[in-house]
Structure 1
């Protein structure tokens, strides 16, 4: 079964029309019909059936489609990376991260230092935890930084840091001069507007803190960009709670104060596959990240 047939069954499931698949592949309709018959002969079982003018997969066809879709996706990824290598002579290395990890680790000089570890073209993409873990398993990312353990073996799933949550507020806010909020009644915070970064693990940490303090923050809006959070705090429209590593020391007009009560921590993980094209490079990058976090990769 060649790559054309792999692509064909993927497209038939997507479009459910022989004419649409022929147009997508740039061939004539009889060619598609010919390959459909050959595939059924090759596997010795019906793979397709017509229902109300549409091509539907049989149970055997759906089974084959499950594997064909993975092969087609991997081939497309390999093709894209090989074209990039041919174009500029550099391997493309993809790091995926959620916005919180991006703000905590991948800013400033780190990306420059990482790109100098090898002759690579570094590509950074952001997304939520679920999407990033899926990309890693599909081969769309070589290394991911998320707030959720991947479940991979210990050597390929490393806890980078446990980071305490901090309260960010405008420098002109009445609470900004409070050196220690431990003695502050949290009901005052509950009366103030908050903006939160869209991060499921961060929300879980904030919820745990709220439960411990027996209060609920008034979250007026959320965003998936750290810049929007910082801007909202700087302009005085909201306060926020974020991990301490996401607090920029140069954020003008903003102060950070430890949350009152027992400390609550946000965890950040690095994950990569042993079957990736360069697991050794992933290990070196994670070593750099752990040095940055004050740990040593082992």
Structure 2
């Protein structure tokens, strides 16, 4: 069945096309490996053993890497919580039948979704600093969190809105049929289902939050990238320090992506199981729950 569906979109490649694809793939890999080898050879003076030696010392991790990683995780965690709450409210606001709620929510989402995160961080930093509202580490952390929260809340709001629109129309019609208002139908029936359906996408958005937290480097926030640069200024191993920081980011992002995939499979399995059980009861093949 899947083969038949695939041939509708494009013709299945023949033996010559398959050989050509294999040759092109091999050539591309060789070119990429050669380019990587050239880059490594050009930076060989920055990749010597003495450049890696600081990472064997415990002080490197306790004084630089670990505090920077904590700063990254702190900003990301706070931003995720605030962006999730604000995103759900904005998503519900964009779907509200009340114009005085829907229009401001739409303006907020469209504006902050279009503004780069770094500009929002810098603007929040300048606003808080020059008005004497915050100072020191709290100023930097708040600026990073505000930028990440506003942008990602707008993205989450769009995910929520698309999740509600992807639901069968019968969900909303059923709520209206039993006497619920449009707002009650949205909050009690459609919104919970949309959040559950979009949960894997919401978790994937955590990867974006985690990566964008590195932009705090530009306003002086002490996160992982800035910690790596500080270490490099002391030990003279800029390339190696950034490589280590990049590997840590890759590990964290891979863990979040794997969690999102696991969550998606678990939710799809549970949904399929619930549907099968409901079908069995409706067909009389099982015992209906008793009161």
TM (norm. structure 2) is 0.25
TM (norm. structure 1) is 0.25
Larger helix proportion of the pair: 2
